[in-house]
Structure 1
Amino acid sequence: MAQLNHTIVASPDRWAGARFLTEVLGLPEPVAYGPFAVVTLANGVSLDFMQSAEVVPQHYAFLVGDDEFGAVLQRLRERGLPTWADPWHGQEGENRNDGGRGLYFDSPEGHNLEIITRPYGSGS
């Protein structure tokens, strides 16, 4: 059975990008592995931040618990970062898709990040 093990995240400053994610999501500090600043998620998947002058924005979604959602939202507010209910950034705030909570925000590199408390298709 195939499982996602890691993916590479382009960033003009790999350490700044990795630290932003760990700080906002409340994850352990990134670690060095070769040319990467590695952020490991609770399910063992890693995001390997790689230094790159050219960044094509990607979308990364993170499943979090209800308590974690509130903590992430608070950290985003403390940083003065806007949040959106939709991936196109047309409606500010958060959504209630699938009976949970969700929101989108931008990383410093311009990646479209999302946190959700329920997987897509799991609720009403």
Structure 2
Amino acid sequence: MSVLNHQIVWSRDAETSARFLADMLAFEPPVKLGHFVMVQVSPDITFDFMSTDRDIMAQHYAFPVGEAEFDAIFARVREHGLEHWADPKHQEPGTINHLDDGRGVYFNDPSGHELEIITRPYGSGGLEAQHVNPLLTEELSASGKLPDLS
């Protein structure tokens, strides 16, 4: 089975962006390898930051975290005075979401990539959750059945 090994993340300043990710999410310090500045984001996956002057298409990276990790990361978001949102469209500023009875928040890195931390995978609470993910109810009304998220 193939597994993702690395993701190149284009940045205005690779070292600044890599350090930001490592500091915010409490990963090991970045490692420089040639023109890459690498952050180990899981045992098998690195984000390899690379500086560029070209236009950067902002990407979205979501990280599952535990409750205590969420508290620590969200505290750093607030300490840095970072804008944050409860939703990917940035329509709910300054707050977090509680979808699937977990917590989630979005914030941007120095190059404009959107980072997200979540304590429960979206859709995992099903229709029994106190805070049902609205995507589930949209899918249910469109198809008449819930998607299999297992």
Q: TM-score range by the shorter chain?
A: over 0.9
Deviations 1:28-65 (Å, cap 9, x if unpaired)?
A: 10001221000001342110000111211111111111
User: Aligned equivalents of 2:83 and 2:19: distance in 1?
Assistant: 19
Q: How many residues align?
A: 124
Letter in structure 2 aligned against 1:99? D
Q: Provide runs of 4+ in structure 1 moved above 4 Å.
A: none
User: Aligned equivalents of 2:73 and 2:123: distance in 1?
Assistant: 23
Quick check: which one's helix share is greater? 2
Q: Which has the higher contact order (CA 8 A, sep 6+)?
A: 1
Does residue 94 of structure 1 match 2:101? no
1:41 match: secondary structure: strand
Does residue 62 of structure 1 match 2:45? no
Q: CA RMSD in A?
A: 1.1
User: Aligned equivalents of 1:2 and 1:97: distance in 2?
Assistant: 31
Q: TM-score, normalised by structure 2?
A: 0.79
- In the other structure, the counterpart of 2:110 is 108
User: Aligned equivalents of 1:103 and 1:62: distance in 2?
Assistant: 10
Gapped runs of 5+ residues in structure 2? 130-150
Letter in structure 2 aligned against 1:50? M
- In the other structure, the counterpart of 2:82 is 81
Gapped runs of 5+ residues in structure 1? none
Q: Which has the larger radius of gyration?
A: 2
- In the other structure, the counterpart of 1:40 is 40
Letter in structure 2 aligned against 1:86? D
